[in-house]
Structures are given as C-alpha cells and as structure tokens.
Structure 1
Amino acid sequence: MNVQIVLFDGFDLLDAIAPYEVFTAAAMYSNEEVTVKLVSAEGQRKVTSGVNQLQVQASGELDLSSKGIILVPGASGSVHDNGPESIPVKLQQVTETELSNLLNEAIKKPDILLSTVCGGSLILAMGGLLEDRHAITHHMGIGLLQATNAIPVHARVVDDGDLITGGGVTSGLDVALYLVERELGPRIAHAVEQLFEYERRGTVWKAEGNAPKESKHENPMEATSSRSSNQTDKSFNFQGKWDTTISTPIGHLSVLLDLSSEDGRIAGIAKQGGDIVTLNNIVQVGNQLKWSMKVKKPIRLSLKFIVSVDGNSMYGEAKAGMLPSSKLIGHRIS
C-alpha cells in the first residue's frame, strides 16, 4: 500500500500528521509493504503549516504515476474574518497552485484512491471536482461544500467509491483507520486502534443498501416564491441591464445583469467574462429581488443573492456557505 499525504502552505498539522501516524503504525502490523510519504506539488521542500507557521519537510513531489492513496488535509487559520489568514482564503490560494492541476488529474486515475480530511474536500470542491459527489468536511464548511454543488453527507467518514472524505480535524484518525481497514483488512485496523487507544466513531456512509425514508421538508426558495407572489410592488423598477461588482473575500467579480419581467414572471441572465448563466428562482419581495446563480470564477460556487434598487442604483449581497457575505453594488446602463 502506497500513501502520499500532500502538504501545502497553510495546511493543518493534525489533518496530516494523525493519518501519517496511523499509516505508519499499520506498516508495523502488515506483512505487505506499506510506504507513507509527506509530499508537495513542488517537490522536496519545507512546507509552512497554518499552525504557528511550523515547518514540516516534504520528502518529494506528488507522484501520480504511483498507484495507491493520496490524502489531502485541510487548512488552519482564522474562522472569524475574511482576511489573508482566514481558512477560505487559504483554501482558495491552494486552488491557484499546481496542486489543483495535479488533483484534477488524480481524481481521473482508476488506480488512485483520493481521500481528504476536513477542508481538504473543499479544495477539491472549489476546483469543481466534487459536483454531484457525496462528501463531507468540517461542520463549518458544509454550506460552502453545498454551494459548490457537492452533496454533503452528515457523517464522520463518507465513502463515495474512489473518493473518501472526512469531517473536521480529529476525523483524520477515522479516515486513516477506515482506509487501513479497506486496504489491509479489519484485523490490522483493529490492532492500530488498540495501539493508539482510540476507537472510530460513527458509521462510514456509503451509497449502498436501503435508503431511509425522508420527511418532506418545504423548499425554502419555493416557499418564499409562493408566499411572495402577491407581495410585489409594481412601482419597483428593476428591469434593464445592470453593471455590477461583487466584492468577495477572494477577489472582485464584474457581472453584467439583464433583468426583465413578462406577464408577472421575472427572468434574468448574468454575464461574467465569456460565461452567460441563467438566474434561478428569482422572486420579488417588496422592493427586493432574491435569486441564486452559479459562477465559475474565481471558484465554482452557487451564490444566493438579495438586492435592492434605488433609482438607477443597485446594492445588496451574495452569500455562499461559510464564506462571508459579499457586497454587490451596480448601476443601470440601459
């Protein structure tokens, strides 16, 4: 069994080192050859973690020609602001490095089992690699995971075939122990548990067996639409083309909106660079508009908007998961 744990600037120490120790312990109990390496996209170097800038040596470059397990940890940083040390910003920075391209190749290879701990799944998701895939991350990042069109599953470990994801921080132990069980068998995984005096928690989720019955919850957007249909203000003039800017924590987006109304139905499109997308679930509540929209830049996200119009000026905000709300300002151009 060959395991490569990927380090990047700002990585969380426990996300990486806990699995490293589990796999190293498994090597002691197995008759099979087990190799565990700390690697980086750039090759051999000292990688600065997000915990007090502690440096850890990467022994070499991430090797996609080597079949086996690749494990991606999350980042460590602030969760209370949107500054350069915040976790969302650090994760976004990773998607702009060579690691993002390597992970894009890795997830397509049948002889590589890709796994993540905590925010590691968000790195994949923000790169557009988890659309329609079942996954989990730290509980504070589930909204962002969903905004990337992944399918969040509230479990400590999620097995989606060639993709294994884990929840927050200490779940790295559970991910690694499950991988040991999956690759080397439950007896060796149990031996490691005894050595560490640690027992895995919860059931590993798989898309197998009978699906549980689900209660029928009201769709919030549909509910808003039905309740708001008689609350429209006919004097509210939102129609036309709008030149808007969305100030996100990871960059400014210039978006051209085209809004119209016919027979009481509101429609709209947004143009971002060469991309044109449809505004979904547009509803009017008084003098405000609400809608959702997919964007590809600077990362792939589904954003939820709420805006107000004052004459030829538009202002409001967009929200995606754990990312702080982004201000929107714009003006009517036609």
Structure 2
Amino acid sequence: MLAQIVLFDGFDPLDVVAPYEVLHAGGVAADGALTVQLVSAEGPRDVPSGIPPLSLRATGPLDPARAGLVVLPGAAGRMPDGPGQAEEDSVPAVLARALGTGLPPLLAACVGRPELCVATVCGGSLLLAMAGLIGGRPAVTHHDGMGALADAGARPVEARVVDDGDLVTAGGVTSGLDLGLHLLERELGPAIALRVERLFAHERRGVVWRPAA
C-alpha cells in the first residue's frame, strides 16, 4: 500500500512528521507492505511549513489513483478569538489559501474513492470540511476548532480518533501518533501496531470512536 502525506504551504510540521514516522516504521516492520511518500498538489517541491524557516520536500504529486491511504495535516497557527479576527497567519486563513490552490479537486477525487482511506490530523479535517467534502460526516479536529468544523458542515465528535470507514480523523497535534498507530492496526494488523507502539515508547490514549453498527 502507498500512503501519501499531503503538504501545503503553512502545514503544521508535527501533523506530518508524527504519522510519517509511525507509518514508515510499520512498513519496515511489515517487510515493505506499506510505503510512505510526502506529496503536494503541485508535485515535487520544497513546501514551507507554518513554522518558518522549516520546510519539507514533497517528492511527488498527490495521486488519488495510486494511493491507498492519504493523510492530510492541519495548519500551524492559532484560531481567531472572534468573528472578523482571521489574521493572515491564523489557521482558517492558512487553510483558506490552500483551498485556492489545485488541492481541493485532488482531495475531492480522494474522498470520491471509497477504497481509498483519507485520514486527517488536527485541522486537516477542517480543510476537508471547508472544501465541502465531508458534509454531515462525523469528524474531530483540535478542540479550538470544533465550532469551526461544525460551521463548515461536518459533525464534530469528541474523541481522540474518529473512524468513519474511509474517513479517519484525529484531534490535536500529538494525536498524529495515535492516528498512525490506529491506521497500522487497521491496515497491517495489531501485531505490527503494537511493535511500532513499543518502538516509539508511546501508549495510545483516548477513544477511537466508530459509528454504531
């Protein structure tokens, strides 16, 4: 399986690096059954994060036809204190700029493939909601953004990870570790997930929410 982690200008580095390392370690533990790639809508390029001067290198384009798993990070910044306070470097402003690129149609193609799992960390779910791609679906984001997530049409759920089948969302920044481990358990089995959990000396916490059967 190919996992692609999406970079866009202003992304939060920890949203990317945490699941990248977990998924990569799982792929190694599973003898290459999972490979991980950093991508962007534009293809190979150096992508500036929201914490300058740090940037990461996208090595290829986001490809909904090839990927079996797509992970979308959030943005680095803060939530506005009130209406009309969406400063240029706030999370909603950074996400809005990402919506003005070639990313939304690619994300729409990802969401439109039920066999492809789209996962998000922190504000990544808000980006999907702002793009009109997860209307009415259960999702979680950083606690400061739950109201904005509801305003954008998603159904906020108070949980560490929300697993709605082909859409898996995780809460605040550090939840990228828990998201990665949950995805390993889903895709490669609990033995691989436990092996990586021990490697990272990280005990998963919080609740994985799933819809009632």
Q: Which residue of the other structure, out of 127, 133, 155, is the alignment partner of 2:159?
A: 155
Higher normalized strand content (fraction of residues): 1
| SS in structure 1 of the partner of residue 74 of structure 2 | coil
Change (3 A) 1:67 1:85: closer
Equivalents in 2 of 1:121, 1:33: separation in Å? 27
Equivalents in 2 of 1:194, 1:164: separation in Å? 23
Which structure 2 residue ranges, 5 or more long, are not aligned? none
Equivalents in 2 of 1:94, 1:199: separation in Å? 33
What aligned pairs does 1:234-313 form with structure 2 within 5 A after superposition? none
Supply the AA of the counterpart residue of 1:88: P
| SS in structure 2 of the partner of residue 47 of structure 1 | strand
Are 1:172 and 2:176 counterparts?
yes
Equivalents in 1 of 2:180, 2:204: separation in Å? 10
- State how many pairs are aligned: 209
Please report the TM-score for the alignment, with normalisation by the length of structure 2.
0.95
State the Cα distance separating 1:32 from its structure 2 match: 4.8
Please report the TM-score for the alignment, with normalisation by the length of structure 1.
0.61
Relative CO higher for 1 or 2, CA cutoff 8 Å, sep ≥ 6? Answer: 2
Q: Which residue of the other structure, out of 179, 184, 188, is the alignment partner of 1:184?
A: 188
RMSD, matched Cα: 1.2
Supply the AA of the counterpart residue of 2:12: D
Instruction: Report Cα offsets for 1:156-197 as digits up to 9, x if no partner.
Output: 000011100000100001111000000000110000000000
Supply the AA of the counterpart residue of 1:109: R
Are 1:76 and 2:80 counterparts?
no
Which structure 1 residue ranges, 5 or more long, are not aligned? 210-334
Higher normalized helix content (fraction of residues): 2
State the Cα distance separating 1:208 from its structure 2 match: 2.0
Instruction: Report Cα offsets for 1:270-298 as digits up to 9, x if no partner.
Output: xxxxxxxxxxxxxxxxxxxxxxxxxxxxx
Instruction: Report Cα offsets for 1:198-228 as digits up to 9, x if no partner.
Output: 011122100025xxxxxxxxxxxxxxxxxxx
Q: Note if contact 1:67-1:111 (Cα within 8 Å) is conserved in structure 2.
A: no
| SS in structure 2 of the partner of residue 198 of structure 1 | coil
> Which runs of at least 4 in structure 1 moved beyond 4 Å after TM superposition?
none
Q: Note if contact 2:142-2:173 (Cα within 8 Å) is conserved in structure 1.
A: yes
| SS in structure 2 of the partner of residue 101 of structure 1 | helix
Specify the alignment match of 1:205 in structure 2. Answer: 209
Larger gyration radius, structure 1 or structure 2: 1
Among all aligned residue pairs of Structure 1 and Structure 2, give the percentage whose two residues are the same amino acid. 52
Specify the alignment match of 1:18 in structure 2. Answer: 18
